[in-house]
Amino acid sequence: MHKLLSKRPSLRALTLPGLAFLLAMFFGALLIAFSDSTVLKHIGHPLAFLKAAGVAVWQSYLALFEGSVYNPSLATPHDALLSWYPLSETLVTAAPLMLAGLSVALAFRAGLFNIGAQGQFIFGSIAASYVGFHFHLPLGVHLIAAVLAAVVAGALWGGLVGLLKARTGAHEVIVTIMLNYVALYFLMWLLGTTRFLRPGRRDPISPDVLTSARMPLLAGSNYRVNLGIFVALAAATFVWWLLTRSTWGFRFRAVGANSAAAKTAGISVPFVMTSVMAISGALAGLGGAVHVLGSDFSLTSGTAGNFGFDAITVALLGRAKPMGVVFASILFGALRAGGGTMQANTSTPIDIVLVIQALVVLFIAAPSVVKWVFRLKNVKTTGELAAKGWNG
């Protein structure tokens, strides 16, 4: 545990995630090459095959970059800055992902695996959008009310898990997996009720959130980037402060490190479990709010997309640390944003992003693989992903 607690901000800490990412991109490249029909035509001629494979991979990854960071062809004579438009899209995707990732990371640090960020995200977006489209409130107040509603909804849905674990010992993984489905079906039912149905529509979509409840745009109406990213960064700072500077955070980490010892030391483990899961849920709910009030504006059955599940990969890549989550969510946000462009412009589907995400996390979790591939020695690896199982 002393390894986890000691702070050594060095570049070495980035070696493993960096190499894991490279390795995952390499496997992604193989997948692109070996599933491309024009590449496979040259299978009998090694040189031509390599060339075609290189072209296919280069085009896909270039599109990925152009869809997430910088695309010169978007610039207009009046506005050269527009070529950075993709970066705005990356930040739009990264903001809810960061919040949901922080939710998972915080729970990890207290020894809880929150698979339920998806359900908490759903409840957050339901609450935020309901307050956003149903009530008419003054500018500013409206946004704050909608955000607070989402935080409370997420906290309740998450806190329930902590309470059940504390009172009955029900494993949070099982409960959260099940509650994710309950949340999804609840959302689907809600969208069929007259209260949530958009007037004049019969398909399940809610009315748009009123302008007064939307996140203010940061860079003018040409870009979708909004206050959400700052909300997420503020939350990351809060989680960092909570974990490293507050008594509460110390208790959380103590329970995460060894709950029996924490109990002996006089820490109320049930209280910690419930409050961690409530804060965790609040963060994921806030993610739902940022998504609905910042970029999506309406509620559909697919509102939560994959955010809650991507959040787990984000938290794992970020090694359950707030700073790590910030970088990991921007990276995965970029992959998501760029993946759309890649799918539109090349024959490579966006789903390769999922493969890359899974592989990155797998390599992070099993550093021995990365070490073996790159013949590394003395790379910092911590045991924070040690196995526990149902009875842990």
Applying CB under 8 A, the residues found at the interface with other proteins are: 31, 35-36, 113, 115, 164, 167-171, 173-175, 177-179, 181-182, 185-186, 188-189, 192, 309, 312-313, 316, 347-349, 351-359, 361-362, 365-366, 368, 385-392
Q: CB nearer to other proteins: give 52 or 173.
A: 173
Q: Nearest distance from residue 354's CB to other proteins, in Å?
A: 3
Q: CB nearer to other proteins: give 88 or 303.
A: 303
Q: How distant is the alpha carbon of residue 129 from its chain centre?
A: 20
**Cα 326 to Cα 89, 194, 216, distances in angstroms:** 16, 39, 21
Q: CB nearer to other proteins: give 168 or 221.
A: 168
- Give the number of other CB atoms < 10 A from CB of residue 248: 14
Query: What is the three-class DSSP state of 60?
Result: helix
Q: Nearest distance from residue 67's CB to other proteins, in Å?
A: 17
Q: CB nearer to other proteins: give 81 or 362.
A: 362
Q: CB nearer to other proteins: give 181 or 271.
A: 181
Q: CB nearer to other proteins: give 131 or 360.
A: 360
Q: Nearest distance from residue 314's CB to other proteins, in Å?
A: 12
Q: How distant is the alpha carbon of residue 368 from its chain centre?
A: 26
Q: Cβ neighbours of residue 114 under 8 Å, at least 6 residues apart? A: 103, 104, 107, 108, 158, 161, 172, 176, 277, 280, 284
Q: Burial level of 230, CB count in 10 A (0-12/13-18/19+)?
A: middle
Q: CB nearer to other proteins: give 116 or 228.
A: 116
Q: Nearest distance from residue 147's CB to other proteins, in Å?
A: 27
**What gap in Å lies between CA 99 and CA 105, rounded to an integer?**
10
Q: CB nearer to other proteins: give 140 or 392.
A: 392
- Give the number of other CB atoms < 10 A from CB of residue 172: 24
**What gap in Å lies between CA 168 and CA 171, rounded to an integer?**
9
Identify the sign of the CA torsion 201, 205, 210, 215.
Answer: negative
Q: Nearest distance from residue 104's CB to other proteins, in Å?
A: 11
Q: Nearest distance from residue 213's CB to other proteins, in Å?
A: 27
Q: Nearest distance from residue 136's CB to other proteins, in Å?
A: 29
Do 195 and 299 meet the contact criterion of CB atoms below 8 Å apart?
A: no
172-192 helix and 141-168 helix, angle to the nearest 10 degrees: 140
Do 286 and 99 meet the contact criterion of CB atoms below 8 Å apart?
A: yes
205 phi, psi to nearest 5 deg:
-145, 135
Q: Nearest distance from residue 127's CB to other proteins, in Å?
A: 18
Q: What is the DSSP letter of 213?
A: G
Q: Nearest distance from residue 56's CB to other proteins, in Å?
A: 11
Q: How distant is the alpha carbon of residue 16 from its chain centre?
A: 20
Q: CB nearer to other proteins: give 83 or 371.
A: 371
